Chain A
């Protein structure tokens, strides 16, 4: 593990300025939230920052605040805090459930929501240091290799899946991300934050190397809204999803008025299914309709050699989650 300089900015503007300064000097710089992903990458020599910009001191970003336009979640709120927060649990259930499924209590106690959203891929080739696209190389080893956990949607040229559990939930809730850079601030909807490898294979989201994700804004909770996150794993703990679904429905008098359905771990970004949402809106959720929704969910899937099992799994997950959430 290489040595680095640690800097403790006192606000996000300073953090962005420190990143910019390091980059201008030709150094590599990394942001650290809880460090549970970054330290693993540093220990395995997958990244070797000269400067670590440590966000721990930014206590203003540790708050969850409710106001008339919704809820603001500071980027440094831990996954454990998020999963236990009464308002998030009752009004934004999908997010509390997603945060509560991450890794272990030990990691949830340090892992931040911003770090969770911005974590790097967990593709085994990438994490073993293969010189793949994500490491600046010229191929994705999963294409002809071990691709059991890889993308069935949106893949190419890299077939990683987005690993975050909170990201699909935030997309289903139509969250917006507040970003601070050296030249000011911008707000990006979750639906535009994540980017496909075909747009830029070197990164998973729109953040520039000198930008900081500081806050997540959730819209006001909807009356008659209900939401849930269901995650399928190889084992019960400390592991990323094989497949997951974040679902948020608005149901009035038994009729679905609005639906957001987002899959996790099937694509290089959280994968929203507008065709499924259209099937649901204006309808009563019956077993037949749920069956149609499940089939529609996978109608455009393109499996690789070894991940075809994700198709029936996705179909069943969407169908069952819909029935249990509507029931």
Chain B
């Protein structure tokens, strides 16, 4: 069976025809060409495939595209504005928050959701929030520093800030 779903991805409305069994990650990568979201484990344990659904991090490998009907999705492609990176992305570069990079799209969107909710997270709060995102390269310290760095810059920018 195929179904027509409507979803908003990174601020853009899409109408997509999907088979019932289409996973959200495959819909994003193959139907919409948004290959920024990566698939690691496919079973919900690594967080590489994390996207935001209505603002909340979810594993897109364990969701049907059908589940996203009528929802707002943010993927890593949705963070930068034109050629300016989002602050979280920039901080991951500046603080060395990645090496091979496979976990990074998931890390970045998960961290973005954290800072939207909590602009000044403690290290423990960062660890708790990021618990579902695995990294085999960095040893996590640099990831935590990146998120702290992004939070610091965000606070310094204050209200005038456009989120970038």
Contacts and interface: CB of A to CB of B under 8 A. Distances in A.
Of A1, A6, A32, which is in contact with the most chain B CB atoms at under 10 Å from its CB?
A6
B47 A104 contact: yes
A106 B64 contact: no
Contact of A106 (B3, B57, B66): B57
Interface stretch (B37-45, B72-80, B93-101, B148-156): B37-45
Interface string A27-58: 00000100110011011000000001010100
A106 B21 contact: no
A35 to B, nearest CB: 6
Given A40-B43, A40-B44, A104-B44, A110 B58 contact: yes
Given A39-B64, A43-B42, A238-B45, A6 B129 contact: no
Interface string B128-149: 0101100000000000000000
Interface residues of B, number: 26
Contact of B64 (A2, A5, A35, A105): A35
Decide if the interface of chain B is mainly helix, strand, loop or mixed.
mixed
B47 A106 contact: yes
Interface residues of A, number: 27
Nearest to B47: A106
B131 A4 contact: no
Nearest to B21: A1
Nearest to A104: B132
A237 interface: yes
B131 A35 contact: no
Interface in A35-93: 35-36, 39-40, 42-43, 52, 54, 56, 80
Given A105-B132, A236-B131, A56 B57 contact: no
B132 A238 contact: yes
A107 B132 contact: yes
A35 B45 contact: no
A302 interface: no
A110 B63 contact: yes
10 contacts: A2-B21, A103-B44, A105-B129, A105-B132, A106-B47, A107-B44, A107-B59, A109-B53, A109-B57, A110-B58
Given A104-B131, A105-B132, 5 more contacts: A6-B3, A6-B66, A36-B44, A106-B57, A110-B58
Interface of A: 1-6, 32, 35-36, 39-40, 42-43, 52, 54, 56, 80, 103-107, 109-110, 236-238
Interface of B: 1, 3, 19-21, 23, 42-45, 47, 50, 53, 56-59, 62-64, 66-67, 110, 129, 131-132
